[in-house]
Chains A and B, each alone.
Chain A
């Protein structure tokens, strides 16, 4: 049954563009139903702001089902807020209580410059995928889908990391602003599958090198796993490192026989 939550104080980051200084702005929500989602609370605030002649708070969001990975808020210092395994858009107000102060910030990472208010530019993620996060197979030439049986355990393990929604919470949560969990999730997805073997080492090398151009280094804090709305395990980082090491240092001629 729905209840009402009263007297919320929102401390929201406002920043006009990438080159200006940002600031916190205080807004009050007198009451809201606990059935509302966190983003619906921002919708209501924005309607109010427009009505008062003020600019609405800019934030990224789209599917509101936790799958598109567009939403991206630091809520009280936690990427996607307090609920484990949950993206901001699936967070509901029943997780908050009367009188709470809620600090809302954009992802903070040097690879994700702030565009405006709570919106950041995550295109560095696309650059990583473009460098090798794919299996080369032009349309038209594929053999029958059942030609290569893939053990269920392998398909399931690949799926576990393929679930990554590319939201960037892992980077935002990492003290170093590293993108190892994002990159490794894709490496693990493709490198675990038989179809991904031909480009296995080339992929690991290209993706890690591109990642290093934009992002900080991993020092095993594990914050990424805790923040991930899909709860992807940091085990994938070990797999990526193993393949990267082989790709970089082993004799390349031997790799084909590995």
Chain B
């Protein structure tokens, strides 16, 4: 009996993925053919809450409102346009095959399953690849100014883990342009009254009544007021939890609170240890640094990654002769070269720096060199492709990448894990959905570049509007609990007490100092490389630090007005609990796959060693009141179309 079967027998909750019948390319069509519909005039009788206004949230809210549902959208930002999708640089994948280079829906599906190291659900990934082509059409119709060829057709470039050019882009600001497209579509609905927007409002709890999600409890960040909202369905499109590491490429406000509060109310949290470390970020320059900045993966189309062969190297980069440079990605992975996937490139950089071959004042980076590209293409072409990224690099580092190579090092960027959802993107709480980075579904153990934007928009534009309708149809004209229900009142009171509690501790340390320390522990023990010993250390030290948080936290100001320190305290507490679950998951998963690399499980040449007999499953954790004692439920993964194989990019 394998471990997967053994664990399956111990499931408290039978995880029904609800994958439709049929061959892989028929499943989504079969689903749509069978689903229940809500007649256009009846849609206005249903209210849907969408939390988060990034790509997934804005596209879902706008589309649901266009269909006629009453939508309430919530964001903790001042405007929906601030969501962190805006910071995605490089591009969005789609199987358009506009370049005629052999791309297809099947190939995008295959690349994504393989890129995820065979830890994603096949049916979801295939649907994603199918939807990808419609996303590009939809975004062009919204006025997204994608890059064009001189003849006026759309241009593409290549991203890691693919041998075709299927990435659409808008300079180095693809996320910005896509988000603005979705935001404008949402803004139109707000103007028309189809969506009510609640800005500067943060979710603080999810309310479940009679086994169904009845609504949410929110806190008005301007006044501290806690209030409830009820609905027929609730969508969490609240992003990932990369900020658990404190230093990451996430925006400062990104947090796990919405997903975590849903988890505490019964939503299973899947694969928390699957986090992505992006290989090309600007290395940390000083200890007070608050965040790390990503340099788009697209730079690896023309930049060459190398380190000196001598660890005592002191010469400037351009003085080091070719034969004393190690272009290690080209050497180790000749068929993908500098475009090897993110997990593989990150670990290769770590190995080089760990060997003492790092570059820069703190020897904590590797070179990403454009000298060859500038010689081959000319400075103007390089500027055209990457000009704004080069400027950003110069503003932050003070160095000009046209003259000296960039220095880069991996940093936390994305989290593949998240709230467990079935094929309909419904969580284990009926009526509660999770979309975009907040769910776990499509990227397995590693996400390929330019696939996050694709997934957010696929979920919001082309999945939820169908699946929510299918679930709502039977609820027509049936009453739902209002916000005067005692469960809402109880959740509101708990939230008030929680925030008053932070103010009452009156210790000595700000939430930020705890967050920084927690992040350091997690980076050290549950970052790019994990060991049993390290994870056990983390699982001892995090609870101790958490206890200190509960007794020595200091939050100044009050709870009845805008108080950013208080907001932060709530987010940091949820990161503590999530951090424990992450380490626990990493410790339980005795294999290496994708972004989860356990040094005990590697091949002779240092690549991830999967254990398909025992770990070909999704680990979905159930809240039991103590994150250290979460109950593990598993969903076995079956690969019917893409056969399990060792993932090789050589």
Residues of chain A whose beta carbon lies under 8 Å from any beta carbon of chain B: 1-2, 16-17, 32-33, 35-37, 39-40, 43-44, 46-47, 49-51, 53-56, 58, 60-70, 83, 85-86, 90, 92, 94, 115-116, 119, 121-123, 125-126, 129-131, 133-146, 149-152, 155-156, 158-159, 162-163, 165-166, 189-190, 193, 195-196
Contact = CB atoms under 8 A, between A and B. Distances in A.
A60 B78 CA distance: 9
A116 B251 contact: no
A122 B79 CA distance: 8
Contacts of A83: 395
B555 A50 contact: yes
Contacts of B84: 62-63, 68
Interface in B48-93: 59, 62-63, 66, 77-84, 86-87
Given A131-B191, A139-B138, 13 more contacts: A47-B512, A56-B564, A60-B78, A65-B293, A66-B392, A70-B82, A94-B398, A116-B561, A134-B142, A134-B187, A146-B98, A152-B150, A156-B145
A58 B562 contact: yes
Given A35-B285, A123-B79, A152-B150, A90 B395 contact: yes
A47 B510 contact: yes
A142 B141 contact: yes
Interface string B254-286: 000000000000000000000000000000011
Contact of A130 (B180, B191, B510): B191
Contact of A53 (B251, B465, B556): B556
B147 interface: yes
Contacts of A189: 143, 145
A85 B392 CA distance: 10
22 contacts: A35-B285, A35-B286, A43-B290, A46-B565, A50-B554, A51-B554, A55-B556, A56-B556, A67-B87, A69-B82, A83-B395, A122-B78, A123-B78, A129-B183, A135-B142, A139-B461, A140-B63, A142-B141, A162-B170, A189-B143, A189-B145, A195-B142
B141 A137 contact: yes
B614 interface: no
A67 B86 CA distance: 7
Among B170, B395, B563, the one with the most A-chain Cβ atoms within 10 Å of its Cβ is B395
Interface in B140-173: 140-143, 145-154, 170-171, 173
Q: Which 7 A-B pairs rank lowest in CB-CB distance, beginning with the nearest?
A: A149-B152, A130-B191, A142-B141, A134-B184, A142-B137, A137-B141, A50-B510
B252 A116 contact: no
B154 A146 contact: yes
A68 B86 contact: yes
Given A40-B289, A145-B154, A190-B143, A162 B148 contact: no
Interface in B560-594: 561-565
Among A55, A86, A134, A136, the one with the most B-chain Cβ atoms within 10 Å of its Cβ is A134
A115 B200 CA distance: 12
A135 B183 CA distance: 11
Interface string B380-419: 0000000000011001101000000000000000000000
Nearest to B150: A152
Nearest to A133: B184
A144 to B, nearest CB: 6
B143 A62 contact: no
A139 B62 contact: yes
B2 interface: no
A130 B188 contact: yes
A8 to B, nearest CB: 14
A84 to B, nearest CB: 11
A129 B152 contact: no
Nearest to A37: B290
A155 B146 contact: yes
Contacts of B170: 159, 162
A90 B392 CA distance: 8
A2 B286 contact: yes
Contacts of B81: 68-69, 126, 166
B185 interface: yes
Nearest to A117: B562
Among A49, A126, A196, the one with the most B-chain Cβ atoms within 10 Å of its Cβ is A126
Contact of B361 (A1, A130, A138): A1
B134 interface: yes
B456 to A, nearest CB: 14
Interface of B: 59, 62-63, 66, 77-84, 86-87, 96, 98, 134, 136-143, 145-154, 170-171, 173, 175-177, 180, 183-185, 187-188, 190-191, 197, 199, 222, 251-253, 285-286, 288-291, 293-294, 361, 391-392, 395-396, 398, 461-462, 465, 508-510, 512-513, 554-557, 561-565
Contacts of A47: 510, 512-513
Given A47-B510, A151-B152, A159 B171 contact: yes
Contacts of B251: 62-64, 68
B565 A126 contact: no
A51 B561 contact: no
A66 B82 CA distance: 11
A130 to B, nearest CB: 4
Contacts of B87: 63, 65, 67-68
B361 A2 contact: yes
Contacts of B86: 63, 67-68
B293 to A, nearest CB: 6
A233 to B, nearest CB: 16
A76 B139 CA distance: 40
Contacts of B83: 68
Contacts of B143: 134-135, 158, 189-190, 193, 195-196
Contacts of A126: 79-81, 187, 190, 197
A147 to B, nearest CB: 9
Contact of B96 (A54, A68, A145): A145
A3 B499 CA distance: 40
Contacts of B142: 134-135, 137, 195
Contacts of A66: 392, 395
A7 B146 CA distance: 47
Contacts of A39: 290
A44 B287 CA distance: 11
Contacts of B187: 126, 129-130, 133-134
Contacts of B285: 2, 35
Contacts of A51: 508-510, 554
Nearest to B147: A155
Contacts of A146: 96, 98, 153-154
A139 B82 contact: no
A144 B147 CA distance: 16
Given A43-B288, A55-B556, A138-B66, A121 B78 contact: yes
A62 B556 contact: no
B252 A62 contact: yes
A159 B253 CA distance: 27
B59 A49 contact: no
A193 B141 CA distance: 10
A149 B151 contact: yes
B137 A68 contact: no
Contacts of A90: 392, 395-396
Contacts of B197: 126
Given A63-B84, A134-B184, A36 B79 contact: no
A10 B188 CA distance: 42
Nearest to A128: B187
A149 B151 CA distance: 7
A125 B137 CA distance: 27
